[in-house]
């Protein structure tokens, strides 16, 4: 990156203001990104980052403000215009068609010229060059979140952008994958591509970004050089208050086994799905078992098997509170005291177009006694939803608002709260803080820890190792549908787990595991 | 393409309820020019079509008679539509309800008794539900498309009815006309409004509206129907069974259509004839959407569309308009409704596809 003051900014925003009904999303926001600069945009959910980025990408029009591109004032009327300028964007929520292949999805999002012959070869080349393994022929519905993200990244890179906007790109990657992505990003930066990097993982912003703009409540509240700050000081600029690390009680005495999986086999009927093979583990009262793994190694399948959305072939392979439930559906398992937090918030954990109180009814109807003779007890349901909103500090006027009106972090807090308020004795969560800002993530972590401290057995399946290390009592690794033996978190390092995710099935103190580690590395990279 | 659709963002709630009204107004305006082009005085034609039929109490009673089967069918269909179960065969289920109910009536044609009507109603419901059970079974067992199966079964039902009135159920004293005996008085539904044909079926239609409203807004089954329609994954997360809901919605819509068919033969028709309904089961699809799949909306839409039937008849008699005018008006209603829906969610903008810089 050149520091010459005379150089023209790649992108310069001045006084961007956007008023939504009842909410000033951007208030006089200015931002300058130089060529080749990796610029972090930091802020909690609702801080106005998304609105600002959508303005740059031509998705929303601002009420006031000016955008300069390479020194010339431009009016980006739509994303197509943005792409023609050389702006590429990797969204946090992917816009992919499930029933099409990777190559078809990429072809749909780019210009006709780019989508021409040889596209598949170019996809393979880019995915290889930039360490984003991707098979152009696979159908999107069979891909994990992490793999889907790679499609979006490759789609952008195909268009050789001059400015790449990345919204929470590493939230689904392993440390090694993230490190590999940083190599890619640094290389792009050296090639003169500017990168606007939206994240709340402060360590990686410190490691990667040249400059940072911090937003809160629609305004720019600070600018800094991340390398000169600590993660804590940036977090405090972002949140406006002092940040607390989750409090753990390592001296909790473990109680009975509440969730027991024994030789669970779930063959997949999807040619690209992952079959679960011979999975056994148990979770005791008072502990949090973390399951680490790279996207697409059987996490979704494991979650479906545990929730009962996919039934096991053998009733004896899943036990909850000493009862065999392999053939029991989600409703029956909830009755036994299990709470579930699925990965997709909108459309899986919550119905996007339904109100929050209806979404509270969705999983709480029986446990919270919200029905009489099959009719919904509306007052009780609303009270329940309102108490979730209050106790879990969900930012919304009231429970009559639709689930899709909430930001990702707020909806996740609502879903988490909805499950926790049902006082589950077993809690199973998949990627509980995916795409959630630091404040909400810390809150959710604390709630999971409190739940375990109060005697629940908690299982967290996540690709975020920092998260697992922050909250877990023991950690196991899932790779290619098989699960390693769980080890106490104090006996493990992030690096060991990261290598394990590549495909060896036992944790490092097993003498047979060491030789496989090399193979693990090459698989990851 | 020189035009493209651009999302307007969050839809205005009021507009959702305004679109049906807008569709009606647009239909009237188009009708105005249509009649003008056909060489009629458009004001007179519109009056004949929409005002004259309900300008007296008999006309209003006829409106209610026609709206009854339409509303019964549409309430059932709307439940399925909300759950993404597309039963297009209400006409066939209605026909089977008429056959079952009519057969019971003919079995008891020499008897009197209060129990005959309830028995016919049960038979009608069973007949319609059985006919709808075929697509339900094929969909849940073999994943067969219920749109095709239910639609094709409609024509099977027509043939079945035709066979029965030409054969086994033909009136032995009827000079070989393809009609059954006239039902006995005990098999004719009681008239509610003296001097008209408005019968007890109207009360059941009203009951279906209220019960449907309660079910969809307050009952667990209605909740399940809405969730599975809006977010199938969330339904599976909550542990709702998709198969059970497919069965439920198809049996419900089939049963209600069967009940409508039974009321037709036991009320206005009074015997089994080769053609029971002028397409009430198909019209109910339009009505379900025109009423926003909401029971109260369906009731209002049912009355409006019933008026197009009456208007068509009065247009034929007074102005010599072709019978097809009824279908044209119903088609225009649905067309304008769907068009308004699209334009409320999206705006049409010129498509240049290049950046202004």
Query: In sequence order, what DSSP letters do the residues of B318-347 get, joined into one string?
Result: HH---THHHHHHHHHHHHHHHHHHHHHHEE
Answer with the one of A239, A255, A275 that is the final residue of a domain: A239
Name the band, by pLDDT with cuts 50, 70 and 90, for residue B352: low
Q: Tell me A245's DSSP state.
A: P
Do A43 and A169 share a structural domain? yes
Res. A347: pLDDT tops 70? yes
How far apart are alpha carbons A293 and B170 in whole angstroms? Answer: 73
Cβ–Cβ < 8 Å for B251, B136: yes
Name the band, by pLDDT with cuts 50, 70 and 90, for residue A1: very low
Do A155 and A20 share a structural domain? yes
| A344 interaction partners in chain B (CB closer than 8 Å) | 233
- What ipTM is given for this predicted complex? 0.85
Do A287 and A194 share a structural domain? no
Q: What is the mean pLDDT of residues A148-155?
A: 84
Q: Give domain B47-320's CATH architecture.
A: Orthogonal Bundle (1.10)
Structural tokens at position A44: 């909690």
Do A362 and A260 share a structural domain? no
Q: Is residue A445 part of a domain?
A: yes
pLDDT tens for each residue of B185-221? 889 999 988 889 999 999 999 999 999 999 999 999 9
Place of tokens 């049960």: B122
| B356 interaction partners in chain A (CB closer than 8 Å) | 74-75, 77, 81
Q: Is residue A507 part of a domain?
A: yes
Q: Is residue A6 part of a domain?
A: no
Q: What is the mean pLDDT of residues A390-406?
A: 89
Contact A80 B353 (CB under 8 A): yes
Pairs of CB atoms within 8 A across A/B: 84
Q: Is residue A392 part of a domain?
A: yes
Do A292 and A318 share a structural domain? yes
Domain that holds residue A252: 246-337+424-525
Write out the H or E segment, with its range, that includes residue A371.
Answer: strand A371-372
Query: How close, in Å, is residue A121 to chain B by CA atoms?
Result: 27
Interface of A with B in 313-342 (CB under 8 A): 329-332, 334, 340, 342
Indicate the average pLDDT of chain A. Answer: 84
Answer with the one of A423, A443, A472 that is the final residue of a domain: A423
Cβ–Cβ < 8 Å for A37, A1: yes
Structural tokens at position B174: 């009827």
Q: Residue A505: what pLDDT?
A: 45
Answer with the one of A217, A239, A261 that is the final residue of a domain: A239
Domain range annotation of chain B: 47-320
How far apart are alpha carbons A460 and A340 in whole angstroms? Answer: 10
Q: Is residue A5 part of a domain?
A: no
- The answer to whether residue A66 neighbours chain B at the CB level (below 8 Å) is no
Q: Residue A390: what pLDDT?
A: 93
Q: Please give the angle made by the CA atoms of B100, B103 and B108, to the nearest 5 degrees.
A: 130
Q: Please give the angle made by the CA atoms of B161, B167 and B173, to the nearest 5 degrees.
A: 115
Do A72 and A142 share a structural domain? yes
0.95 exceeded by pTM: no
Q: Is residue A4 part of a domain?
A: no
Which of B9, B230, B231, B248 has the most A C-beta neighbours within 10 Å, making it the best mutation to test the interface with A? B231
Work out the end-to-end distance of chain B between its first and last CA atoms, rounded to an integer number of angstroms. 22
Do A94 and A186 share a structural domain? yes
- We report the CATH number of the domain holding residue A473 as 3.40.50.300
- The answer to whether residue A349 neighbours chain B at the CB level (below 8 Å) is yes
Percent over 70 (pLDDT), chain A: 87
Q: Which of B119, B120, B152, B121 is nearest to B134 (CA)?
A: B152
Do A100 and A31 share a structural domain? yes
- The contacts of residue A199 (CB under 8 Å, 6+ apart) are A40, A42, A166, A168, A169, A170, A171, A205
pLDDT tens for each residue of B72-114? 999 999 999 999 999 999 999 999 999 999 999 999 988 888 9
Q: Is residue A492 part of a domain?
A: yes
Q: Is residue A3 part of a domain?
A: no
Total structural domains within chain A? 3
Do A218 and A155 share a structural domain? yes
């Amino acid at each position: 990156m050149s520091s010459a003051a005379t150089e023209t900014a790649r992108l310069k925003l001045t006084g961007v203001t956007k008023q939504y009904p009842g909410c000033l999303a951007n208030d006089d926001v200015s931002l300058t990104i130089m060529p080749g600069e990796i610029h972090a945009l930091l802020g909690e959910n609702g801080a106005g980052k998304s609105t600002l980025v959508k303005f740059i990408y031509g998705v929303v029009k601002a009420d006031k403000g000016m955008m300069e591109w390479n020194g010339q004032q431009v009016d980006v009327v739509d994303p197509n215009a943005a792409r023609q300028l050389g702006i590429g964007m990797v969204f946090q929520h992917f816009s992919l068609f499930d029933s099409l292949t990777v190559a078809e999805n990429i072809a749909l999002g780019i210009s006709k010229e780019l989508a021409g012959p040889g596209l598949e070869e170019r996809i393979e080349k880019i995915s290889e060059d930039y360490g984003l393994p991707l098979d152009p022929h696979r159908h999107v519905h069979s891909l994990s979140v992490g793999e889907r993200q790679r499609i979006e990244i490759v789609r952008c890179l195909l268009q050789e952008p001059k400015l790449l906007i990345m919204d929470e790109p590493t939230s689904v990657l392993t440390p090694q994958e993230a490190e590999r992505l940083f190599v890619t990003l640094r290389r792009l930066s050296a090639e003169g591509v500017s990168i606007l990097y939206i994240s709340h993982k402060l360590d990686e912003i410190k490691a990667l970004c040249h400059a940072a703009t911090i937003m809160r409540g629609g305004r720019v509240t600070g600018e800094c050089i991340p390398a000169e700050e600590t993660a804590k000081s940036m977090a405090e600029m972002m949140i406006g208050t002092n940040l607390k690390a989750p409090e753990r009680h390592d001296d909790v005495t473990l109680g009975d086994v509440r969730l027991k999986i024994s030789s669970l086999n779930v063959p997949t009927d999807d040619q690209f799905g992952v079959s679960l093979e011979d999975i056994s583990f148990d979770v005791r009262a008072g502990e949090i078992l973390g399951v680490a793994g790279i996207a697409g190694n059987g996490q979704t399948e494991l979650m479906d098997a545990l929730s009962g959305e996919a039934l096991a072939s053998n009733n004896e392979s899943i036990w909850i509170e000493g009862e065999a439930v392999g053939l029991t559906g989600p409703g029956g398992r909830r009755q036994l005291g299990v709470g579930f937090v699925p990965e997709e918030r909108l459309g899986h954990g919550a119905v996007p177009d339904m109100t929050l109180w209806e979404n509270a009814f969705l999983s709480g109807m029986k446990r919270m006694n919200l029905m009489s003779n099959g009719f919904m007890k509306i007052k009780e349901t609303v009270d329940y939803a309102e108490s979730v909103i209050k106790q879990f500090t969900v930012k919304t006027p009231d429970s009559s608002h639709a689930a899709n009106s909430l930001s990702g972090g707020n909806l996740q807090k609502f879903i988490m709260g909805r499950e926790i308020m049902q006082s589950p004795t077993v809690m199973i969560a998949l990627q509980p803080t995916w795409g959630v800002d630091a404040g909400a993530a810390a809150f959710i972590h604390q709630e999971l820890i409190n739940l375990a401290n109060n005697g629940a057995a908690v299982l967290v399946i996540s690709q975020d190792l920092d998260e697992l290390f922050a909250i877990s009592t023991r950690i196991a690794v899932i790779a290619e549908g098989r699960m390693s033996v769980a080890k106490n978190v104090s006996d493990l390092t992030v690096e060991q787990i990261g290598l394990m995710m590549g495909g060896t099935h036992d944790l490092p103190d097993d003498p047979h595991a060491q030789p496989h580690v090399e193979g693990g590395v090459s698989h990851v990279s | 393409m020189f035009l493209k659709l651009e999302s307007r963002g969050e839809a205005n709630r009021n507009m959702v309820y305004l679109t049906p009204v807008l569709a009606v107004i647009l239909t009237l305006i188009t009708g105005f020019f249509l009649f003008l082009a056909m060489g009629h005085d458009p004001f007179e034609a519109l009056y004949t079509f929409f005002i004259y039929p309900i300008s007296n109490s008999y006309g209003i009673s006829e409106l209610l008679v026609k709206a009854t089967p339409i509303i019964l069918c549409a309430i059932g269909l709307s439940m399925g539509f909300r759950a993404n179960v597309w039963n297009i065969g209400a006409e066939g289920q209605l026909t089977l309800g008429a056959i079952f109910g009519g057969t019971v009536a003919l079995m008891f044609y020499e008897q009197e008794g209060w129990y005959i009507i309830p028995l016919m109603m049960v038979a009608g419901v069973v007949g319609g539900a059985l006919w709808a059970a075929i697509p339900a079974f094929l969909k849940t067992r073999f994943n067969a498309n219920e749109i095709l199966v239910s639609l094709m079964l409609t024509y099977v039902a027509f043939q079945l009815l035709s066979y029965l009135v030409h054969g086994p159920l033909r009136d032995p004293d009827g000079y070989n006309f393809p009609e059954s005996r006239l039902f006995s008085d005990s098999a004719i539904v009681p008239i509610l409004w003296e001097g008209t044909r408005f019968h007890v079926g109207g009360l059941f239609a009203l009951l279906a509206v209220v019960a449907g409203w309660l079910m969809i807004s307050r009952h667990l089954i209605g909740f399940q129907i809405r969730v599975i329609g809006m977010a199938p994954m969330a339904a599976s997360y909550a542990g709702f069974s998709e198969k059970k809901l497919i069965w439920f919605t198809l049996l419900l819509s089939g049963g209600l259509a069967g009940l409508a068919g039974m009321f037709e033969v036991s009320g206005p028709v009074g015997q089994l004839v080769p053609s029971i309904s002028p397409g009430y089961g198909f019209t109910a699809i339009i009505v379900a959407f025109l009423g926003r799949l909401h029971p109260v909306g369906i009731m209002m839409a049912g009355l409006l569309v019933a008026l197009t039937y009456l208007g068509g008849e009065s247009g034929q008699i007074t102005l010599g308009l072709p019978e097809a005018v009824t279908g044209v008006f119903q088609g225009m209603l649905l067309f304008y409704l769907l068009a308004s829906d699209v334009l409320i969610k999206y705006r049409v903008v010129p498509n240049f596809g290049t950046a202004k810089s």
